[in-house]
Structure 1
């Protein structure tokens, strides 16, 4: 159940977390607002979201962030509240903590994430990532997962990423592991273009509030593309397309947002 919509996009998040760009350090915060619409096959209807995201840099090393999401999925309404902090410890180490709470069956009742990153090599152009996640669902299901990843910062503004999330779901002790690869190109204050592909297993997924509305132990894959474009030094837009497939339905859709930096 770990893989859900509206998770931070790994490629762009990794770029922003390093704080390596001079322009990034000059930005105090960001406010972003947008809409999402996805269509599902096999009579599963549509998904719609409205969201507001924000970040605030309180020092050269620390950035706080928060999301508020209003969503309608599988015919039900729900909200999601997310809060977190990223911190650069020194020139080699940086990490983040995040927590969230959802009000409906399709969001976790509680989720906590902790991630630590280490720059490697003489040029510090490779970043190793280790993270842990704990998810408690509204009906008592629990997920505990380990994230392992590598990011390679190449010349000419390219970043390549790959990794795996090893997940154990209870009750039942079901293993549901996911692998991902991603590529990002771009420059801060100009544009970023990113592609990502995930494939693996899901232990369970809720498609309704009843005990019978549960998909169990299946494979799925998702491909997504993100374009973040600055129209001026302090504002711009972001578009994100996503295509998801499992044995029960397909999901296709677009997210559009405007952002303002200050």
Structure 2
């Protein structure tokens, strides 16, 4: 049938903005930390009697060279009345002045997380100033009930003066069994400076072929559209520590989800 977008969007949000911030630092020629550790909480309320989401998470990055950053996340979650954990690992590498890419994988232990997910992304800097980045990515997701998603990501990022970055793209997704297309689009903007603060906003909209809201066979939403808006504020309180706040609002024809994520981070 298809893609369980709400939980997977939330998983991607939980995965972290740390890798993206590391790339902003590279573009801005900012000082690079060796490692970052972040821990926090998430609380979301759902409408239509679907209860609450609660998460505790730890995130980290580790720079092993000037060109390579590893990242890992561990999430303990309660969603739709069930408990689950999510483990994420990945690496981002700068190949040369024009090319950089990333590999990532994740494993979830409950119906609302994928049993397995793998991502590969390649980025190319364009233009005389190398301030435009074209992105191509592929993703494979296997759900616990046998559903499979295979998708292609096409995106562009524009690094403007005055510390502004604009982004946009689309994800073309095929879900099986059934060969259902469930595509999505996004736009985003980020402003800020490393060691000071980053403020970002993002909006996604698209199609969902399926979404489980419970462990039972009947707890299944099929073939609908949804959208999600988020805003993130990452603030340094000192040279190596600070906090991050993220607000998110999700909507589909069956329920709404609203909530906040709060975290503290330390750089080494």
Q: Aligned in 2, Cα 1:68/1:11: closer, same or farther, shift over 3 Å?
A: closer
- 1:258 equivalent in structure 2: 264
Q: Mapping of 1:42-61 within 5 angstroms? A: 42-61=48-67
Alignment of 1:191-230 (within 5 A): 191-230=197-236
Using the TM superposition, name which of 15-24 and 169-178 deviates more: 15-24
> Compared with structure 1, are the counterparts of its residues 79 and 24 closer, same or farther at alpha carbon in structure 2 (3 Å cutoff)?
farther
- Per the normalisation by structure 1, the TM-score is 0.96
Paired position in structure 2 for 1:4: 9
Show CA shifts across 1:25-78 (max 9, x none).
3x0010000000000000000000000001100000011110000000000000
- Please tell me whether residue 21 in structure 1 is matched to residue 40 in structure 2: no
User: Which residues of 2 match residues 138-157 of structure 1 at below 5 A?
Assistant: 138-157=144-163
Count of residue pairs the alignment pairs up:
261
Contact 1:11 1:184 in 2 (8 A): no
d(CA) in 2 for partners of 1:132, 1:21:
27
CA positional deviation for 1:22: 3.6
Counterpart of 1:79 in structure 2 is: 85
| 2:143 counterpart (137, 161, 169) | 137
Q: Which runs of 5+ in 2 are unaligned?
A: none
- Find the aligned partners of 2:213 and 2:173 in 1 and give their Cα distance: 20
1:167 aligns with 2:177: no
Cα distance in 2 for residues equivalent to 1:124 and 1:29: 27
Q: Report if the CA contact (8 A) 1:136-1:142 is conserved.
A: yes
2:188 corresponds to: 182
Structure 1 unaligned segments of length 5 or more: list them. none
2:75 corresponds, among 53, 69, 78, to 69
Is 1:119–2:148 an aligned residue pair?
Answer: no
- Determine the C-alpha separation between the residues in 2 that align with 1:107 and 1:242: 18
Q: Are 2:16 and 2:59, in contact at CA under 8 Å, matched by a contact in 1?
A: no
Q: d(CA) in 2 for partners of 1:75 and 1:58?
A: 40
Aligned partner (choices 240, 250, 253) of residue 247 of structure 1: 253
State TM-score, norm by structure 2.
Answer: 0.94
How far apart in 2 are the matches of 1:229 and 1:53?
Answer: 16
**Paired residue for 2:98, among 92, 104, 113?**
92
| Counterpart among 89, 100, 113 of residue 107 in structure 1 | 113
The verdict on how the C-alpha distance between 1:29 and 1:10 changes in structure 2, with shifts beyond 3 A counting, is closer
Structure 1 residue ranges (4+ consecutive) displaced by more than 3 angstroms after TM superposition: 8-15, 21-24
Classify the secondary structure of the residue corresponding to 1:107.
Answer: coil
What secondary structure, in the 3-state scheme, does the structure 1 residue paired with 2:9 have? coil
